[in-house]
A and B are shown apart, each in its own frame.
Chain A
Amino acid sequence: MHQSFLNIARYRYALYAGLLGAACVASYIVDCAYERPNGGTVLGFTLGGIAAALLLFLMTYGIRRRSFRGRAGGTKRWLSMHVYFGVCALLVATLHSGLQFGYNVHTLCFGLLCLVVLSGCWGVYAYLRYPTLMARERGAVAREDLMARLVEADREALAFAAKSVPEVRDLIADAILRTRLGGGVWAQLRGRDDSKLLLVPVREPGYTRLVSNRGQQTLIAQLAKHQATSQDGDAQHVVHQLLQISSEKAIVLQRLQRDIQLQGLLQFWLYLHVPLSFGMLAALVVHIFSVFYYW
């Protein structure tokens, strides 16, 4: 049955990573009694070696994820190891550092590692939290279906508007034109509706004003005004239909915006985690090289 990457094989990889971490901590404590903790001691080199090996292993997850023909075990096992050994690597690297920090490439490497692990932890949180939220928000309807509903609502609205007075026609066409969904990174993560509507204020004919149409509320208010002032029964019916469609559209839009926001939150951490990992790898290479060069 379904099993999350965290508890696969009864937390086997958590156990292995925990044992490795515990062993490193124990030897660090024992070693403290004999010498000052430092990356240059025998234990320091050993811990550094372990940490470097772990980091290289963690980087291979990216390769495993993209190779589909291999027989190297399921991707979720690899992810499970990646998570637990990633946290363990930070612990081992901390012990390796002997808690000696300064303004140098060694500390830069450690700092980058901290950021990588932190972003990774954010990723674990995102993977555990957002899929459920997304499924709950979306219900049984896929995003494509929601998009199709949106397109359908717009098409219906235009068809009805064609039978209405020019003001209503323009209003509907403009609302569709200025409906915003998604956008840049910030817009997606914020999940705010930036839809706008161009209004012609009654008191200032000839002038236009761009106002917010969040949740299609301005459009709905304008349509309601038209319905209230219209005398013609048929025209009233058309505006009534348009109101219905706009309300439906507002609901669909809201669900889509939320879906896009959650999708963004689910994926955003990767845009930090991966570049930071490569930065950390580069700093690691410089760190190792400089240690041996200035031996």
Chain B
Amino acid sequence: MNQIDFDVAILGAGPGGLSAAARAAQRGLSHVLLEAAEQHANTIQQYQRRKHVMAEPSMLPLRSDIAFEAGRREDILANWQNSIARSNINVRYCAEVVKITRSADAFSIELKSGSVVCVRRVILALGIQGNPRRLGVPGDDHGCIQTTLDCADDYDRETIMIVGAGDSAIENAMALSRRNQVIIVNRGDGFPRAKDANALRIRKAIESKTVQCEYGAIVMRVEDAPTQPGERAACRVVMKTPAGDVAHMCHRVITRLGAVAPRRFIEPIGVTYVGTGADALPELSPRYETSVPGLYIIGALAGYPLIKQALNQGYEVIEHLSGHAVEPADNAILASKLDAVPFGHDVDATLELIQERVRMFHGINPLSLREQVMASTVRVLEAGNEIYLRGEYMDSVFNVLQGEVYLYVPDTSRMTISAGQFIGAVSLVSGRPSEATAIAGPDCVLLETPQRMLKKLMRSELAVRKFVDRVYILRCLKYLLTKNTKAETIHKLARSARIQRLDAGQVLFSEGDPVDRIYLVRRGSVTLSRRAEHTETPIAYCAAGSIVDSVGETSGQSCRAVTARTTVATEAVSLDHATFVRELRDDAELMKQLQAQRAEQLEQYAHMQARPDAGGIISFLMSHGVGEATNVLVIDETLCIGCDQCETACASTHQGVSRLDRRAGPSYQFLHLPTSCRHCEHPHCMNDCPADAIHKLPNGEVSIDDTCIGCGNCEENCPYGVIQMADLPVSAGFIDRLLRRPAPEPVKTAVKCDMCVGKKSGPACVDACPTGAAIRIHANDVVNLAAKRVASR
């Protein structure tokens, strides 16, 4: 075994790593901070210039030797640079780690330069960006090679080579081609990885010779260019192409080859992950120790994407390692949150009891539980208090800590939910309004957790997902069936249930298939269509919560008369048809209910089939995401006079920034879908908001609150391009204006339609439309809209 060089090696000089290193320096712990890049906080260095960086969550106290408060990117980076200089941190830049191996009581860290560092413990604070993939050929460290492009306008009249064929390579190539000669090096012969629009743009640019492309080319080496008088220093890139070896002289090379995911680097050390998905997290102890003793993971890599969390964790890990036990920074907040919980004498004991009592949290990682509770609210209710009403959109799930809750659904008996169970399962899964009204029973204490947090837990803990699925199926069956249905029957049916997850556009069943399962849409939606003259004509639409093709399923037909195709990513629960019929044929009330539903659907089928044009309208709306909309703006082009009153009204009621773009967006048969928020049932924008700033309100509105840190994740995640990052003006205070101080700089924030909540006359866009061209509809109105339009022609 080599000699131990340091007690601790910290990998990554981001906020977590810096904080850990600063604390280690304070404690006199021998340490080394290894950073692959040339500077600290590489991710934040790549933020756009002058970006305002927020310090969320605001309630969490900062515990670090590194100063941090909300402010401009430049100020924060300069502050950290000062902290590094002041606090005796032993940092090594350009020290890319290629391998970590563990022996009995030490780790040996192999650097790209060839040197090896031996340490007792390792803290990984790598972030989730990963290291940009390099060319891996002789000369790939040449000075003219860069992996990012800050601002295309910085380059003028240069020959720039871009290696890669993904979206970022194309976007860089297009931006640079305005002023430079661009050569794009593509290993394949097309751009299959890029978005359609990008692929189209680059193909056009190549055809018109704006960009030169080397197809099927592999870079062999990068070398200094032979110096020529009057020429700026450049490089020569030699590549292998189908036509033989080719050399290009360039001023710079930008490699856009994606990144090596950190997981692929970490797993070989022996760290176990929970789950297999892209967002699976490493298994951690309450002190952030992985399954490999002595190896710690903090920050975004551990599932904590905010700067302040990373800073605190860096501090806490070093305190723990140097034998100074420290309570987590969130302890005080948790203590005040859990104050109202009638059991447990301190935070740890209460959390333990919660884990024991609440069925959903059985067996989950204590750190995850802490995170869940941290984001939750404890609610102590008096008997008879309303928790939520039937028909309200929900943003939370309620675990019953004590007492009981009663669920009321019309036409069914009252359902009692006792301590340890939870309510809000159907809304959590379907994204639709609640099916029941929930009323608190005696001594009721609830833990209200945002759906977003629970979805994160479901992704990382398979057991939680399975539990939620089971509860969902049981609740669904109870709502679907009547009060006469025996509990035993419901359980029998639930056992036959299967959950199917399908992407948009997939077929659930086709015309002519045998009727062997009953499908219930639990998330997303499905269109039913019939084949006529080689084309599929949509004739009905099934939203979440409805039975797909109840005509086929309950009328005793043996074959499907329609094809069911998903409109968005959809999940369906399927029950065994034979069991369903056998168990429920004697339930007269249920049969009557199903008959009524069948008659309604049959009528719809007939109406729609008589109007094939309506099918086209449905297909158009569904293919542009109206299937998952709770409130979407639809413009009738035959009435729209292009006055842009909708945009003007929107801007004048929303800080001067219109949340809709009338002209943009697709049109079909005189219907136009402008670029405007659809308020999705399962908002894509909410998936990855580090500050938890996006919420779904009871009326279905998806809104962004003031805690937005302007990271732009929601803008990227929205498939309909309705979120924009806007510089919202900050109004100067009275005193500031009096003293003629300069107005504060505008803050970059994500903005989108807020459905004009609070405005009595409804959404400003619709209210201001003089001709009646603008309306807002729900996904359920699509069939009606299509039918009316066809009928009115």
List residues of A whose CB falls within 8 A of some B CB.
Answer: 1-5, 8, 65, 68-76, 78-79, 127, 130-132, 134-135, 139-140, 142-144, 152, 155-156, 159, 263, 266
Stretch touching chain A among B321-329, B442-450, B636-644: B636-644
Q: Are B770 and A68 in contact (CB under 8 A)?
A: no
Q: A76 and B769 in contact (CB under 8 A), knowing A2-B639, A131-B640, A156-B208?
A: yes
Known: A2-B772, A135-B670, A140-B667. A74 touches B766 (CB 8 A): yes
A110 shortest CB reach to chain B, Å: 27
CB distance from B786 to the nearest CB of A (A): 10
B761 within 8 A of A: yes
Contacts of B638 in A (CB 8 A): 131-132, 135
User: Please, how many angstroms separate the alpha-carbon atoms of A219 and B769 in the complex?
Assistant: 44
Contacting pair A142 B663 (CB below 8 A): yes
Instruction: Contact check, B664 vs A68: say whether CB atoms are below 8 A apart.
Output: no
Please provide the chain B residues from 756 to 793 with a CB less than 8 Å away from any CB of chain A in the complex.
759-762, 764, 766-773, 775, 777, 781, 784-785, 788-789
Within the assembled complex, what's the spacing in Å between the Cα atoms of A75 and B209? 51
Q: Known contacts A5-B772, A69-B653; decide if A74 and B761 are in contact (CB<8 Å).
A: yes
Could you say which residues of chain B place their CB within 8 Å of the CB of A152? 204
The reply to whether B770 and A75 form a contact with Cβ atoms under 8 Å apart is yes
The residue from B204, B645, B663, B768 contacting A143, defined by CB atoms under 8 A apart: B663
Q: Judge if B649 is at the interface, Cβ distance under 8 Å.
A: yes
Chain A minimum-CB-distance residue to B772: A76
CB atoms of B664 and A79 under 8 A apart: no
> What are the residues of chain B within 8 A of A70 when measuring CB–CB?
761
Question: Across the interface, do B668 and A140 meet the contact criterion of CB distance under 8 Å?
Answer: yes
Find chain A residues with CB under 8 A from B639 CB.
2, 4-5, 127, 131
23 contacts between A and B (CB under 8 A): A1-B784, A4-B771, A5-B771, A5-B772, A68-B649, A68-B768, A69-B652, A72-B761, A74-B761, A74-B767, A75-B768, A127-B641, A131-B642, A131-B771, A131-B773, A132-B670, A134-B637, A135-B640, A135-B667, A155-B208, A159-B208, A159-B209, A266-B641
Asked if B724 is at the interface (CB within 8 A of a chain A CB), the reply is no
A2 contacts B668, C-beta separation under 8 Å: no
Contact A140/B771 with A68-B649, A132-B637 known, Cβ cut-off 8 Å: no
Q: Does B648 touch A at the CB level, under 8 Å?
A: yes
What separation, in Å, do the CA atoms of A72 and B760 have in the docked complex? 10
- Distance in Å: Cβ of A25 to nearest Cβ of chain B: 29
Residue among B636, B639, B663 having the largest count of chain A Cβ atoms under 10 Å: B639
Assembled-state Cα–Cα distance A156/B208 (Å): 6
CB-based nearest B residue for A156: B208
Query: Does B666 belong to the interface (CB within 8 Å)?
Result: yes
**In the complex, A72 Cα to B767 Cα: how many Å?**
10
- Rounded to whole angstroms, the CA-CA distance of A76 and B784 in the bound complex is 22
Which residues from A are CB-within-8-Å of B788? Answer: 1
Please name the residue on chain B nearest to A78 by beta carbon: B770
Docked Cα-Cα span, A70 to B756, in Å, equals 13
A234 CB to closest chain B CB (Å) equals: 15
A-chain residues with CB within 8 Å of residue B210 when the two chains form the complex: 159
Residues in A with CB closer than 8 Å to B642 are 131, 134, 263, 266
Closest residue of chain A to B207 (Cβ to Cβ) is: A156
- Known A131-B638, A131-B640: A8·B772 in contact at CB below 8 Å: yes
Min CB distance, A164 to chain B, in Å? Answer: 14
The docked-state distance in angstroms from the alpha carbon of A122 to that of B79 is 66
Main DSSP-derived SS at the A contact region: helix
The 7 A-B residue pairs with the shortest CB-CB distance, nearest first, are A135-B637, A2-B636, A68-B649, A132-B638, A76-B772, A140-B667, A79-B770
Q: Compute how far the CA of A90 lies from the CA of B652 in the bound complex, rounded to whole angstroms.
A: 35
Output the least CB separation between A170 and chain B (Å): 20
Given contacts A65-B645, A135-B637, contact A4 B770 (CB under 8 A): no
Seed contacts A1-B781, A4-B772; 15 additional CB < 8 Å A-B pairs: A1-B788, A1-B789, A2-B772, A2-B775, A3-B772, A68-B649, A71-B761, A76-B769, A76-B770, A76-B771, A76-B772, A127-B639, A131-B638, A140-B668, A142-B664
Query: Does A71 lie within 8 Å of B760, measured CB to CB?
Result: yes
Residues of B within 8 A of A4 (CB): 639, 771-772
* Partner pick for A75 among B204, B208, B759, B767, CB 8 A cutoff: B767
Please, which residues of chain A bring their CB within 8 A of the CB of B653?
68-69
Q: A72 to chain B: which residues have CB within 8 Å?
A: 761
Beta-carbon contact of B772 and A131 below 8 Å: no
A239: min CB distance to chain B, Å = 17
How far, in whole Å, are A240 and B684 apart by their CA atoms in the complex? 48
Task: Specify which chain A residues have a CB less than 8 angstroms from the CB of B773 in the assembled complex.
Answer: 2, 131
Measured between alpha carbons, how far is A156 from B771 in the docked complex, in Å?
Answer: 41
* Complexed CA–CA distance, A105 and B667 (Å): 51
Q: Provide the B660-681 mask, 1 if CB < 8 A to any CB of A, else 0.
A: 0001101110100000000000
Residue of B nearest to A135 (CB): B637
**Which residues of B, 695-754, contact A by the 8 Å Cβ criterion?**
none
CB distance from B769 to the nearest CB of A (A): 6
**Which residue of B636, B663, B769 contacts A144 across the interface (Cβ within 8 Å)?**
B663
Residues of chain A within 8 A of B636, CB atoms compared: 2
Q: Closest CB of chain B to A258's CB: distance in Å?
A: 14
Name the B residues within 8 Å of A65 (CB-CB). Answer: 645, 768, 770
Whole-angstrom distance between the Cβ of A273 and the nearest chain B Cβ: 13
Contact of A1 among B649, B764, B775 (CB under 8 A): B775
User: Which residues on the B side are within 8 Å of A156 (C-beta)?
Assistant: 208
Interface string of B327-363 (1 = CB under 8 A from A): 0000000000000000000000000000000000000
Q: From residue B80, how far is it (CB to closest CB) to chain A in Å?
A: 44
Collect the chain A residues with CB atoms within 8 Å of residue B785's CB: 1
Q: Which residues of chain A are near B209, meaning CB under 8 Å?
A: 159
B784 neighbours in A (Cβ, 8 Å): 1
B190 to chain A, nearest CB (A): 21
Please give, as numbers and ranges, the residues of chain B lying within 8 Å of A8 by CB-CB distance: 772
User: Complex formed: what's the CA distance from A288 to B431 in Å?
Assistant: 63
Q: What's the nearest-Cβ distance from chain A to residue B757, in Å?
A: 14
Against A, the Cβ 8 Å flags (1 = close, 0 = not) of B620-656 are 0000000000000010111111100100110011000
Residue of B204, B210, B649, B781 with highest tally of chain A CB at under 10 A:
B649
* Bound CA span A71–B666, Å: 32
| CB of A198 to closest CB in B, whole Å | 26
CB distance from A286 to the nearest CB of B (A): 31
A130 and B643 CA atoms in complex are apart in Å by 13
Q: Which of B642, B648, B770 has the largest number of chain A CB atoms within 10 A?
A: B770
A170 CA to B669 CA, complexed, in Å: 43
Per-residue A-contact encoding for B208-251, CB less than 8 Å = 1, 0 else: 11100000000000000000000000000000000000000000
Taking A131-B639, A142-B663 as contacts, is the C-beta distance between A5 and B770 under 8 angstroms?
A: yes
Q: State the CA gap A4–B788 with chains docked (Å).
A: 14
Q: Convert B529-557 into 0s and 1s, putting 1 for each residue whose CB lies closer than 8 angstroms to a CB of A.
A: 00000000000000000000000000000
Most buried by A among B209, B638, B667: B638
Smallest CB-CB separation from B785: which chain A residue? A1
On chain B, the residues within 8 Å of A3 by CB distance are 772
Residue of B nearest to A68 (CB): B649
A263: B residues at CB distance < 8 A? 642
Chain A's closest residue to B663 (CB) is: A142
Give CA–CA (A284, B557) in the complex, Å. Answer: 75
Contact A131 B645 (CB under 8 A): no
Query: B608: shortest Cβ distance to chain A, in Å?
Result: 16
Q: Which residues of B contact A132 (CB under 8 A)?
A: 637-638, 670
Q: Is the CB of A68 within 8 A of B652?
A: yes
Complex Cα–Cα for A134 and B773 (A): 14
- Shortest distance between the CB of B636 and any CB in chain A (Å): 4
Nearest-neighbour CB distance to chain A for B278, whole angstroms, equals 35
Chain B nearest CB, measured from A10 CB (Å)? 13
Q: Report B-chain residues with C-beta under 8 Å of the C-beta of A71.
A: 760-761
CB distance from B182 to the nearest CB of A (A): 15
Q: A69 to chain B: closest CB distance in Å?
A: 6
Smallest Cβ-Cβ distance to A142: which chain B residue: B663
A8 nearest CB neighbor, chain B only:
B772
Docked complex Cα distance between A75 and B645 (Å): 10
Q: Return chain B residues, CB-CB under 8 Å to A1.
A: 775, 777, 781, 784-785, 788-789
